[in-house]
Amino acid sequence: MSTVVKTKIKKDDTVQIIAGKDKGKSGKVLRIDRKNGRLVVQGLNMVKKTVRPKNQQDKGGIIDIEAAIDTSNVMIICKKCGPTRIGYKLDGDKKKRICKKCGETF
Ligand SMILES: [Zn+2]
């Protein structure tokens, strides 16, 4: 049985990395892999990847590419108060994501 990891973070959120080599850096979420609880942040957690030549003119080579980060290693950034946790607030019958510290909506 597969479980989907619950994360409140969405694509295009700005997050800060709280563990690992890019700790303290922030960037925009490009993709989320909800099945594995991982996400890719633009320009962060870069790894070298070897690319095979596509044709005889192309030599291939090594490129830098973003590697996925565990969602537990990032925090969303509130534009008012910085890295924070996401809470929810009901607005009519809609559930809104809010900053747990200051109540700012995301
Ligand atoms: Zn806030």
Q: How far apart are the first and last CA of the chain?
A: 32
CA-to-CA distance for 21 and 18, rounded, in angstroms?
Answer: 9
What pLDDT, on a 0 to 100 scale, did the predictor assign at position 3? 66
Who surrounds ion ligand 1 at CB < 5 A?
78, 80-81, 99, 101-102, 104
pLDDT on residue 16 = 97
pTM assigned to the model: 0.84
Weakly modelled stretches of the chain, pLDDT under 70:
1-3, 5
Report the pLDDT value the prediction gives residue 2, as an integer from 0 to 100.
Answer: 57
Question: What pLDDT shows up at residue 9?
Answer: 95
State the pLDDT at residue 7. 87
In this structure, which topology does domain 14-80 adopt according to CATH?
Answer: SH3 type barrels. (2.30.30)
Task: Please report the pLDDT score of residue 75 as a whole number.
Answer: 96
pLDDT of residue 59: 85
Spacing, Cα 27 to ligand 1 middle (Å) = 17
Break the chain down into helix, strand, coil percent, rounded to 5. Answer: 5, 50, 50
